[in-house]
Structure 1
């Protein structure tokens, strides 16, 4: 049996729908004007906590998650429908990180409470139709936008069990047996080490109160370095508010086991040794264990463990279990209460959205010009806003190309290229799919001539999708 507490998935938000160029052609409606609708917004990627899950095994065979694309707009000012969003269900205690080592915030979300939701990726914005570009000076615009490409990213997920109390100790110390007597959990119990290979959760009901207890599998010396499955088990201790160290009374060296486990916790994370600790000296039903209890209690007091935090228990007979649980209740009550704001249920992963290339909210003059290659001369313009604008430009329409050239001039990109020595017929790259050829003649006549030559080379002479009817002539 394998316990899945790590996973790596790929998420892709939906692309925005394409805007439409259309005009009203109803009878008795002269100069009807533009009527192209906007494209729909692509679907988003959400993550939500589902308390019915206890591992990440559902991501073993399901790695890719893709939201639906937005529907293109159409005539009569009909806007396209939004793409279908998807929600990824994860167990409580899941930490979501970006797999990109250069991400500004590696930890994107910590999903702790049932029902908590977080927005991982926003869908691409739908392109605007020509009806949205109508102005007093341009009453019949012939341009539309392409939908924004939805972001995508690889994410790493790590599960840390969320429990009030965590049982730690050496292998075969009796942790699983103790959990079975304290709660309704029925973990596998046997008389050989490493019986427990996966963490177990149980709910202890006593004095009209419920306490969640996690049984952490046995730790070995060197677990903090990853020896055995040390990292897989130690990470679950970080979510527990109180730790119970179960000491095997029948061990040849109970105090040595105690010191070894404490050392492993401290070496893995120094904060673990600062958590409230209760020691459960187990197997008091055996004569060899009961005879040394007094000596062990004195030795634990010398190590800073007070007498009220030391309990002689027997997981097999239930001796001392109620006293142990009541002490745990007292410690939990003394700790600061964990506050959770309902507003935190909805998280905006702006850092992940930024890494996916979207330029929403960024100024157009936030860019950088680099000389990428000297022979042939290739210039690279980097900037999230201008890259997004270039990606959404529909080059099938001359007005779109003219609008893009005006933006390059107004944002200062053309001036920066001239300052750095751009020359005639140099290649200027913006984003992943936009390559332009620099020309010192920035007039509209020159732009229209270049645009028309490219259209003819593609077998198109009209704007939009119209094709030349006699290509061979």
Structure 2
């Protein structure tokens, strides 16, 4: 069952492409200036509802879903290509949650409903974007932003108009097969149905979707008999048809037990409109007599009761007509408005809209840890192969207030400082020669034969 209506998958948006350092070198164009283009944005992760899919079993062997990265920038200010988006197809009624925080990311209601879950990484800027009046020939470019990634949990709650509920072997599947073209498994033993079945019923030019919910037991709200897996599908139905087996001597006790489980699971489910179908009256004269007695009892409770035989079809037509009348009287649920409201909320990357001066400094026995969405993205996108990146990083530490905060926290010469995935030694010497020596030492650590970018001699 867990493979049918629940799944856990990994999704990752595409990384942004790298910016490029290039200069315009053409005949008769003196001092052409910087000409490096920006990298393209990475592809995003979308979820889309597809009515041709009716379960999550397809995710058993397809767990990882990744969007394509953006292309790298080129010379002549050529922009990198935008990474292709990845669309994950799910059945209508699927809820997508963050596996770590349990926050609902989106809900798929109807066929064609499409929502973005993860935006792609931002492309890095090329040196043409860093040109200023003071620095007319910048030799600096950015790496692309890493795409967001997370594990998400999928939960399927069937979107049906009418839910057929009852104890095991009460005749629910027989009723569904009688009123629709559905072909559920039918046998004379409990729990013949282990997964919900859907069927389309037409009455008076109206089309309704019936869901055959597997049998419920006392204690279903606590998970007894796979109660959670079955009850979740009742939440999206609008009308309930409670099928009772009149061959049982404990019909009232079974009815009250199931009603109690519905309220314990969710009060909204217990408050849904309900019709009673006293089934299997064709089994014996005793069952028919018991059905007439129970009809009087339920009518005194103010319930809509119908004596039926799902096997022979007796009373089924009247039951469906009553279901249709109640269903038609209910106000229509505007799923599109809810989806539009969620889509209107712009999905942003963690660092979008954040300032570099929004950070915290934590003194740990190992290192001083600086946390902040904006500064972490800045460090991650910095291309340390260029010396000007070192100078830019030093300026940002000073202007954002991080340098003062780390000094106030007690950092000394040579102490470790960690920002995101980057670790470096703290130093109060901000002279350009010191920065150049640090950058040069880093370049010397590269394997032999590796191309060294930004190796222009210092000073310029």
Q: Secondary structure at the match of 2:367?
A: strand
Assess if the C-alpha contact under 8 Å between 1:119 and 1:349 holds in 2.
no
Quick one: which of 438, 441, 447 aligns to 1:453?
Answer: 441
Q: Distance in 2 between matches of 1:350 and 1:447?
A: 43
Cα distance change, pair 344–369 in 1 and its aligned pair in 2 (3 A): same
Residue 343 of structure 1, CA deviation: 8.0
Assess if the C-alpha contact under 8 Å between 2:7 and 2:56 holds in 1.
yes
Q: Secondary structure at the match of 1:386?
A: helix
Instruction: State how 1:243-258 maps to structure 2 within 5 Å.
Output: 243-258=240-255
Residue 333 of structure 1, CA deviation: 2.5
Runs (5+) with no aligned partner, structure 2? none
Assess if the C-alpha contact under 8 Å between 2:387 and 2:454 holds in 1.
no
Q: Distance in 1 between matches of 2:2 and 2:128?
A: 57
Assess if the C-alpha contact under 8 Å between 2:73 and 2:126 holds in 1.
yes
Assess if the C-alpha contact under 8 Å between 2:203 and 2:324 holds in 1.
no
1:185 alignment partner in structure 2: 182
Residue 336 of structure 1, CA deviation: 2.3
RMSD of the alignment, in Å?
2.3
Q: Distance in 2 between matches of 1:459 and 1:277?
A: 73
Cα distance change, pair 384–42 in 1 and its aligned pair in 2 (3 A): same
Cα distance change, pair 2–65 in 1 and its aligned pair in 2 (3 A): closer
Q: Secondary structure at the match of 1:78?
A: coil
1:471 alignment partner in structure 2: none
Residue 347 of structure 1, CA deviation: 4.9
1:29 alignment partner in structure 2: 29
1:312 alignment partner in structure 2: 307
Q: Distance in 2 between matches of 1:85 and 1:347?
A: 20
Runs (5+) with no aligned partner, structure 1? 469-473
1:331 alignment partner in structure 2: 326
Residue 305 of structure 1, CA deviation: 3.4
2:292 alignment partner in structure 1: 294
Q: Distance in 2 between matches of 1:197 and 1:441?
A: 70
Q: Deviations over 1:299-335 (max 9, x none)?
A: 2234x333xx111111112122222122212222232
Instruction: State how 1:41-56 maps to structure 2 within 5 Å.
Output: 41-56=41-56
Q: Distance in 1 between matches of 2:411 and 2:332?
A: 62
Q: Distance in 2 between matches of 1:346 and 1:43?
A: 23
Instruction: State how 1:207-222 maps to structure 2 within 5 Å.
Output: 207-222=204-219
- Shifted more, 283-292 versus 217-226: the winner is 283-292
Q: Distance in 1 between matches of 2:344 and 2:58?
A: 23
Assess if the C-alpha contact under 8 Å between 1:118 and 1:346 holds in 2.
no
**1:78 partnered with 2:78:** yes
1:360 alignment partner in structure 2: 352
Cα distance change, pair 173–457 in 1 and its aligned pair in 2 (3 A): closer
Assess if the C-alpha contact under 8 Å between 1:98 and 1:352 holds in 2.
no
Q: Distance in 1 between matches of 2:181 and 2:271?
A: 29
Q: Distance in 1 between matches of 2:60 and 2:290?
A: 48
1:418 alignment partner in structure 2: 407
1:283 alignment partner in structure 2: 280
Assess if the C-alpha contact under 8 Å between 1:95 and 1:159 holds in 2.
yes
Residue 424 of structure 1, CA deviation: 1.0
Residue 235 of structure 1, CA deviation: 0.9
**1:437 partnered with 2:453:** no
Q: Distance in 1 between matches of 2:209 and 2:338?
A: 25
Assess if the C-alpha contact under 8 Å between 1:116 and 1:346 holds in 2.
no
Residue 68 of structure 1, CA deviation: 0.9
TM-score for the superposition, normalised by structure 1 = 0.91
Residue 2 of structure 1, CA deviation: 8.4
Instruction: State how 1:32-431 maps to structure 2 within 5 Å.
Output: 32-100=32-100, 103=101, 106-286=103-283, 287-302=285-300, 304-306=301-303, 309-341=304-336, 344=339, 347=342, 358-373=350-365, 378-431=367-420
Q: Distance in 2 between matches of 1:41 and 1:201?
A: 42
Q: Distance in 1 between matches of 2:158 and 2:151?
A: 23
Assess if the C-alpha contact under 8 Å between 2:160 and 2:237 holds in 1.
yes
Q: Deviations over 1:251-292 (max 9, x none)?
A: 122112211211221222222211111111112223222212
Assess if the C-alpha contact under 8 Å between 1:51 and 1:92 holds in 2.
yes
Assess if the C-alpha contact under 8 Å between 2:37 and 2:126 holds in 1.
yes
Q: Distance in 2 between matches of 1:122 and 1:128?
A: 18
Q: Secondary structure at the match of 2:392?
A: helix
Q: Secondary structure at the match of 1:59?
A: helix
Q: Secondary structure at the match of 2:154?
A: strand
Residue 466 of structure 1, CA deviation: 5.5
Q: Distance in 2 between matches of 1:2 and 1:411?
A: 49
Cα distance change, pair 459–224 in 1 and its aligned pair in 2 (3 A): closer
Q: Distance in 2 between matches of 1:44 and 1:416?
A: 36
TM-score for the superposition, normalised by structure 2 = 0.94
Q: Distance in 1 between matches of 2:456 and 2:32?
A: 25
